[in-house]
């Protein structure tokens, strides 16, 4: 296809996300789109721009590789309504609200066909339940564009939180899962679900671990484990286990600093409240958003992730393993497989309380084990590098994604 200048346009891939915040899926998409940009022009479609994080958006678009794809359009009335709601939100009367124009049925197909043609989009890739639904409702009914669904998280989270019965879950999820030409998953429990829903015979199903390329220019990890250097990198929400991690640090540092704790997170009101609550605890460093956390992870003796978020394949674990940093975490979804090596686990798995959160005593004991036994900490570091090398090469991941994209688009190498 040729553009207005007569130059042939590179095939475009439309990647969809809920918003641009510093999360694992967003970090992976940045690397995926840039890694395949020699073959496919990456476009990012953002469902909720209002909740995107400005700092991360700048980081995401730096380098000029990415182009934003317009998912919605405004008219004068919708813009007036949006300003009205925003003004009320600023005064504290109402919550935030974005009012989009609803296209008339007769216009929707025309609009989508024109946008996809203009940008030479040959494939769409969704990366969350919300973006899955968006493709199923907005794109697929209007144009038969090849659709690759990436399952970053566990469908069990949707399964138990949203639907009243197993039958309702299967009926609703089947309606969406029948539409993609390919489903790429990261957790075995999703494969179990696919076997119970009605998938189309043409749908390709493949397990691909999300890859990462470590920064080669990082410092060596310190051999001395007193104080023990810990880090935690996650969204600023309760389900990631921040309260449990901070409580453990408080206990360990009650009399003297035994651990230095680096907290890396997207700013939020929740994290602001925690910073006030634990301001008296020595050894905690509130880093907030860090565009490139490589040096922090590399210097850490261990990463904490006491998350009960129904994680599938947390990118924070992948990045930690890349720098030989073992992970102390709950055994959620695919995490035990991520840490598994022939020599044993590249970290420690925690016990959970009855409500699913990490047991504080178990977490304190796990951290203390590395303080008291530096040799075990170094052994787990060796295992971390082994686990990363065996499972999480970025080039292997890019090759597997490209093979799927090529098969569905019959793309030729650039």
Round the average pLDDT of the chain to a whole number and report it: 86
- Cβ-count burial of 16 within 10 angstroms (0-12 exposed, 13-18 middle, 19+ buried)? buried
Quote the tokens at residue 36.
């395949």
Quote the tokens at residue 38.
């020699």
Pair (184, 254) in one structural domain? no
For residue 229, the surrounding DSSP H or E stretch is: strand 228-233
Q: How much is the average pLDDT of 273-282?
A: 98
Question: How much is the pLDDT for 156?
Answer: 66
Question: How much is the pLDDT for 319?
Answer: 95
Question: How much is the pLDDT for 89?
Answer: 54
Stronger pLDDT, 274 or 195, i.e. the higher one: 274
* Residue 5 scores a pLDDT above 80: no
Listed in sequence order, the DSSP H helices in 124-240 are: 129-134, 155-162, 166-177, 188-194
User: Could you tell me if residue 354 is inside a domain?
Assistant: yes
Stronger pLDDT, 375 or 1, i.e. the higher one: 375
- Using alpha carbons only, what angle is made at residue 209 by residues 133 and 266, rounded to the nearest 5 degrees? 65
Q: How much is the average pLDDT of 34-61?
A: 93
The Cα 302–Cα 370 span in angstroms is: 9
Ranges 99-113, 263-277, 350-364: which has the least confidence: 99-113
Q: How much is the average pLDDT of 220-239?
A: 90
Pair (193, 262) in one structural domain? no
Question: How much is the pLDDT for 50?
Answer: 85
- 8 band by pLDDT with thresholds 50, 70 and 90: low
Q: How much is the average pLDDT of 279-289?
A: 97
Question: How much is the pLDDT for 412?
Answer: 44
> Is residue 244 within 8 Å of residue 362, measured between CB atoms?
no
Question: How much is the pLDDT for 11?
Answer: 95
Quote the tokens at residue 316.
């924070």
Pair (187, 238) in one structural domain? no
For residue 132, the surrounding DSSP H or E stretch is: helix 129-134
Give the chain's domain count.
2
* pLDDT tens profile 171-197: 778 888 999 999 999 888 888 888 888
Pair (135, 205) in one structural domain? yes
Pair (273, 240) in one structural domain? yes
Beta bridge partners of 304: 328
Pair (377, 247) in one structural domain? yes
Ranges 191-200, 259-268, 269-278, 372-381: which has the least confidence: 191-200
Question: How much is the pLDDT for 106?
Answer: 55
Pair (127, 271) in one structural domain? no
- 76 band by pLDDT with thresholds 50, 70 and 90: very low
Q: How much is the average pLDDT of 336-347?
A: 96
The Cα 29–Cα 46 span in angstroms is: 12
pTM of the predicted model as reported, rounded to 2 decimal places: 0.81
* CATH code where residue 313 lies: 3.40.50.2000
Pair (137, 48) in one structural domain? yes
Question: How much is the pLDDT for 398?
Answer: 97
User: Could you tell me if residue 258 is inside a domain?
Assistant: yes
* pLDDT tens profile 79-124: 444 554 555 555 554 444 443 444 455 567 788 888 899 999 999 9
| Angle between helix 54-61 and 24-35 (nearest 10) | 20
**Shortest CA distance to 184 belongs to which of 409, 14, 398, 411?**
398
For residue 183, the surrounding DSSP H or E stretch is: strand 182-185
Range of the domain at 317: 228-391
User: Could you tell me if residue 357 is inside a domain?
Assistant: yes
Pair (315, 371) in one structural domain? yes
């Amino acid at each position: 296809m040729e553009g207005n200048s007569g130059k042939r346009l590179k095939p475009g891939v439309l990647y969809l996300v809920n918003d641009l915040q510093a999360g694992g899926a967003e970090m992976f998409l940045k690397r995926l789109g840039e890694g395949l940009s020699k073959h496919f022009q990456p476009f990012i479609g953002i469902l909720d721009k209002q909740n995107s994080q400005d700092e991360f958006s700048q980081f995401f678009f730096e380098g000029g590789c990415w182009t934003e794809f317009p998912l919605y359009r405004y008219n004068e009335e919708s813009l007036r309504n949006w300003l009205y709601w925003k003004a009320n939100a600023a005064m504290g009367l109402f919550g935030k609200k974005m009012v989009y124009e609803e296209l008339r049925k007769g216009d929707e197909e025309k609009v989508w066909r024109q946008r996809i043609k203009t940008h030479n989009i040959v494939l769409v890739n969704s990366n969350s339940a919300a973006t899955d639904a968006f493709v199923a409702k907005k794109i697929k009914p209007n144009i038969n564009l090849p659709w690759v669904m990436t399952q970053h998280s566990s469908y069990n989270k949707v399964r138990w939180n949203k639907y009243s019965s197993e039958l309702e879950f299967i009926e609703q999820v089947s309606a969406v899962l029948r539409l993609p030409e390919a489903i790429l998953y990261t957790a075995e429990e999703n494969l179990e679900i696919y076997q119970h829903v009605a998938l189309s015979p043409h749908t390709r199903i493949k397990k691909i671990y999300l890859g990462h390329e470590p920064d080669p220019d990082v410092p060596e990890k310190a051999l001395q484990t007193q104080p023990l250097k810990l880090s935690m990198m996650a969204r600023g929400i309760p389900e990631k286990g921040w309260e449990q991690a901070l409580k453990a640090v408080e206990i360990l540092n009650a009399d003297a600093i035994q651990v230095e704790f680096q907290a890396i997170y997207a700013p939020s009101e929740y994290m602001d409240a925690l910073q006030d609550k634990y301001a008296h605890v020595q050894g905690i460093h509130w880093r907030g958003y860090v565009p490139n956390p490589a040096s922090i992870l590399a210097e850490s003796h261990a990463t904490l992730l006491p998350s009960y978020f129904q994680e599938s394949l947390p990118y924070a674990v992948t990045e930690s393993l890349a720098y030989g940093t073992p992970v102390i975490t709950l055994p959620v979804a695919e995490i035990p497989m991520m840490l598994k090596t022939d020599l044993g686990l590249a970290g420690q798995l925690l016990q959970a309380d009855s409500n699913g959160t990490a047991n504080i005593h178990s977490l304190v004991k796990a951290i203390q084990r590395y303080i008291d036994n530096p040799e075990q900490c170094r052994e787990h570091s060796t295992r971390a590098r082994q686990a990363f090398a065996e499972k999480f090469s970025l080039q292997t991941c890019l090759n597997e994604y490209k093979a799927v994209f090529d098969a569905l688009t019959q793309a030729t190498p650039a």
